[in-house]
Structure 1
């Protein structure tokens, strides 16, 4: 029974319980996709059905992760199956538990407001999109915001963070960005914004057959 309730895994070479960051990111990607599609239906179909199901799934997922064990979390198991051929990247279990506790509070809040009370408000929007931002950064960039908050509430330093972000170190040359690189990024987004402004009406219009455009041009 003790093994069932253990939070994190004991791995040789690590002096604290750890978890596999690769399967965590995979599960975060699946959950983000579920939440993203739920909001697409809300925005374009005014349907909250999938969002309510998604919230129920989130709440059950975090309850299992925190109060039972991450090893029995359905989405972490799916993540493990997806990345099973990749070399594990171990992270400290303590900060992940803290991050998932935040997720539990957020999902429980939405469950009460959206599922139990069947209400809609700015709170729902804010909490749901906070969850989406957390999931997106976790799955896409390996950045765990909840893990960053861990050091604000606990005196001890977090160990084995993804990408060793808990350790203060000088950036290598390949990690640095030059003024020219930053300028290119700014110019790129300026180009996108200006193009949208100039061709905004055309973007919203349904495309016309190229043959009709050519025929109209030569008939003048």
Structure 2
């Protein structure tokens, strides 16, 4: 009978129901690891077995989150790891909205990669977007879905992670001096160039690059590549 209480927890000192952001971040990190393992298995080993189980779990987990997060498996595992840390409370309403968006993303992934297995670049891109959202929440405590909440809802979110919903002035330790800005820009540019070089200048020296290129090739291009490969093998055969 108590499976469907009011959404979120009532905590003294908060004017809205809240959730513990620490366990949400821990759960996001665990799900990111699962998604990453599924992606690498698909690219390196050409198997979707792990991804099918993971996406099934992911979809069910987010469905439970938007009904009653107390019973979401990933959140309970996250709670186990952070149970001795001081809770960081955030508004439950915007988290529910964000998890609802996650569930909307999960449903087509579940259908096309579990029920009717039809992988293609667009569906892989959806998975990458999901990983991107999980990473930002786990690493930086940035809930992008919570930010979208303010764009669609008349009632603005309160008690966001890090207090970003409430106006506040940055302290000196949060600001960048000119030298730090230069170092930051150089770091970002270097990271972007390194990523570009990995996918282009290294050509086909890594299995990952080969598989990613094949994944985004058309059927005609794949047939041409296979034809050239067969022709090269034929020319190298000893008669």
TM-score scaled to structure 1, two decimals?
0.84
d(CA) in 2 for partners of 1:105 and 1:190? 34
Tell me which residue corresponds to 1:35: 35
The aligned runs of 1:59-208 (5 Å cut-off) are 59-67=59-67, 69-188=68-187
d(CA) in 1 for partners of 2:189 and 2:15? 49
Deviations 1:119-170 (A, max 9, x none): 0122211211111011000000000000000011101110100001112222
Q: Name the SS of the counterpart of 2:8 in structure 1.
A: coil
Query: How far did 1:4 drift?
Result: 3.6
Tell me which residue corresponds to 2:17: 17
Change (3 A) 1:178 1:133: same
Deviations 1:1-51 (A, max 9, x none): 356433100111112110000000000000000001110111111111111
Change (3 A) 1:157 1:37: same
TM-score scaled to structure 2, two decimals?
0.77
d(CA) in 2 for partners of 1:26 and 1:16? 23
d(CA) in 2 for partners of 1:36 and 1:177? 33
Query: How far did 1:73 drift?
Result: 0.8
Tell me which residue corresponds to 2:217: none
Query: How far did 1:179 drift?
Result: 1.8
In the alignment, structure 1 segments of 5+ residues that lack a partner are 206-220
Aligned residues: 199
d(CA) in 1 for partners of 2:133 and 2:5? 26
Moved over 2 A (4+): 1-6, 185-194
d(CA) in 2 for partners of 1:98 and 1:167? 19
d(CA) in 2 for partners of 1:145 and 1:117? 29
Tell me which residue corresponds to 2:51: 51
Q: RMSD of the alignment, in Å?
A: 2.1
Change (3 A) 1:21 1:190: closer
Change (3 A) 1:185 1:7: same
Task: Using the TM superposition, name which of 167-176 and 76-85 deviates more.
Answer: 167-176
d(CA) in 2 for partners of 1:191 and 1:147? 30
d(CA) in 1 for partners of 2:190 and 2:128? 28
